[in-house]
Amino acid sequence: MKKDELQSSGPSQGVSRRTFVKGTLALTALSAAAAAGCAPGSVASAGNTSRFGKPSWVKRVDKYPVEIDDSALTRYDSGNGGFSTAARAWGPDLTAELSRIQQSVTLEGVRNNLPGNDLKARALQHGAACLMYGQPGRLLYSWSAVRPPTDYGVGPWQGSPEEAAQLVKAAALFYGAGSVGIARLDRRWIYSRDGGKDLVFEDVPEPVIEDTRKVIPEKVQYQISLAIPQSFELIALAPTAMSSAATGFGYSLMAFVAGLLAEFIRQLGYVAIPCGNDTGLSVPMAIDAGLGEVGRTGRLITPEWGPNVRLAKVLTDLPMAVDKPIVFGVMDFCRKCKKCAEHCPGDALSLETEPSWEITGVWNQPGKKVWQEDAAKCLKAWRELGTGCSVCVRVCPYTKRAETMLHDVVKGTISTMPTLSSFIAKADDWFGYGVRKDPDAWWRRLGRSFGRDGF
């Protein structure tokens, strides 16, 4: 098993001569097709996209693209999340030991100026994340208008659902979303309890947070899912405090984008509830809204940025035209690839070829046939690393910046010719993708504004 080591140069795997020749021939065919203008669409070349704004190798489907057992699926209590329950799985002794290790590793990094975990790295991390500390329902995540909507005497904005969807998407992209999708609100993905309060739907005009309950109006029938790309350059440094800066900045941008979009909708005269990780399960909601597919890590894999995104959502009663779920070969590819699980420092990801109904703990929502992550093992690795991890994001073959059509050709090939998936996963290693970069070099190379190096 390949383990990701802190000082390793990352993945490396031999490729046989036969595989190499096979790949050379495949690359020849692909390069010929690409250079002849048959290359699949890309983020960089937006002109070559399908009618619904995704690359041409992405297909829309009518049905949720994961097997669901409705008899087992129940609304999730966010109190069962890994951050709340991992310590229970560890037991008090291990929990205390892990806290001691985390503190020791953190201090060692700062005091010994370890690249990626020194003082400037920690400062970058905490600066990036400072907007994420707005609690659900407060500040940017406020459930009520920040500025009371002006009464112009014309009532709420009126238009067709298609026009409403266009307005919302234009505003979301303007505020900083990488991609945006809209779906009918599926209440199965809304938490049963959140932040120690019951989440209920009632016939009320406005959403309200009470002492023991959070009340969502019955008329809230739509959800807008937002994908916020993270810095590729920083994620390439995982697992360090600097890759945690990418994650933390993603969280800050989630609050920023969702909060501003919710306020936009309120100013149109409708109800809007901005959410980060709170209120509902972001991944299935984003799948409903056509932003991507679920992968082996349990995270969303987007066609544009792979798993290197954070997700936010806005719930609203503004009637909008909805998007459909999309597929582009992720589940098939993940069956064969397994790079994330092989490199996971905590052995938290499933190495099984097929997804499973069997949950690994209370942190998983039952009733979904997916690769089930072991959150206790994942968070144990975080403690031991003294920082967030993100190794699974770094090594995923879908985590690619859009600076060359090569990645679009490869993703298009995965989508249309799944028999080449095993070869592509091996070639990704052979080419040297997913290798951890030098943290100190990041400071010398002035990156792009807002860390938007994936655009």
The tokens for 227 are 């994908």
C-beta closer to other proteins: residue 328 or 433? 433
Burial 422-453 (b: 16+ CB within 10 A, else e): ebbbbbbbbeebbebbebeebeeeeeeeebeb
122 vs 401, beta carbon nearer other proteins:
401
Shortest distance, CB of residue 450 to other proteins, whole angstroms?
Answer: 17
d(CA 120, CA 122): 5
Cβ 139 to other proteins, closest distance in Å? 35
Residue type for 117, please? N
Angle of helix 375-385 versus helix 92-111 axis, rounded to 10: 40
Alpha helix segments (H runs only) across 177-301: 232-235, 241-268, 282-288
- Shortest spacing between CB 366 and other proteins, in angstroms: 40
> In angstroms, what is the minimal distance from the CB of 120 to other proteins?
19
**What's the CA gap between 12 and 434, in Å, rounded?**
10
Residues of span 300-319 touching other proteins by CB under 8 A? none
* C-beta closer to other proteins: residue 45 or 166: 45
Report, in Å, the least distance between residue 240 CB and other proteins: 16
Structure-token pair, residue 181: 């999708």
Q: Which of 143, 232, 256, 382 binds other proteins (CB under 8 A)?
A: 232
Q: Which stretch binds other proteins (CB under 8 A): 88-96, 156-164, 358-366, 403-411?
A: 403-411
Query: How far apart are CB 432 and other proteins at their closest, in Å?
Result: 4
Which one of 61-69, 183-191, 228-236, 343-351 is the stretch in contact with other proteins (CB under 8 A)? Answer: 228-236
In sequence order, the 6+-apart residues with CB closer than 8 A to the CB of 419 are none
Q: Report, in Å, the least distance between residue 420 CB and other proteins.
A: 15
What number of other Cβ atoms are within 10 A of residue 338's Cβ?
19
Number of residues that bind other proteins (CB under 8 A): 25
Find the binder of other proteins among 8, 13, 356, 404 (CB under 8 A). 404
- Toward other proteins, which CB reaches closer, 296 or 436? 436
* Contact predicate 307/296, CB 8 Å: no
Residue 68 pairs in a beta bridge with 368
Binding mask 363-402 for other proteins (x = CB under 8 A): -------------------------------------xx-
Q: In what order do the strands lie in the sheet with 309-316?
A: 179-184, 222-229, 309-316, 272-275
445 counts as binding other proteins under rule CB under 8 A: yes
Helix (H, G, I), strand (E, B) or coil at 330: helix
Please state whether beta strands 213-217 and 208-209 pair in parallel, antiparallel, or not at all (unpaired). antiparallel
Angle, CA of 240, 243 and 249, to the nearest 5°: 140
Sketch the per residue contact string, 415 through 434, with other proteins: x for CB under 8 A, - otherwise: ---------------xxxx-
37 DSSP 8-state letter: I
| Residue whose C-alpha is closest to residue 246's, from 226, 222, 228, 230 | 230
**Residues 79, 193: contact at Cβ < 8 Å?**
yes
Segment near other proteins (CB under 8 A), from 195-203, 230-238, 275-283, 312-320?
Answer: 230-238
Nearer to other proteins, 310 or 437 (CB): 437
Residues between 4 and 43 that touch other proteins (CB under 8 A): 23-24, 27-28, 31-32, 34-36
Q: Which is nearer to other proteins, 374 or 408 (CB)?
A: 408
CB of 298 to other proteins, least distance (A): 26
Q: What is the smallest separation between the CB atom of 269 and other proteins, expressed in angstroms?
A: 44
Nearest CB to other proteins, comparing residues 115 and 159: 115
CA distances from 369 to 150, 177, 202, 331 (A): 47, 29, 31, 11
Residue closer to other proteins (CB basis): 24 or 71: 24
β-partners of residue 449 are: none
Nearest one of 92, 63, 66, 98 to 324, comparing CA atoms:
63
Give residues in contact with other proteins (CB under 8 A). Answer: 23-24, 27-28, 31-32, 34-36, 232-233, 236, 400-401, 403-406, 430-433, 435, 437, 445
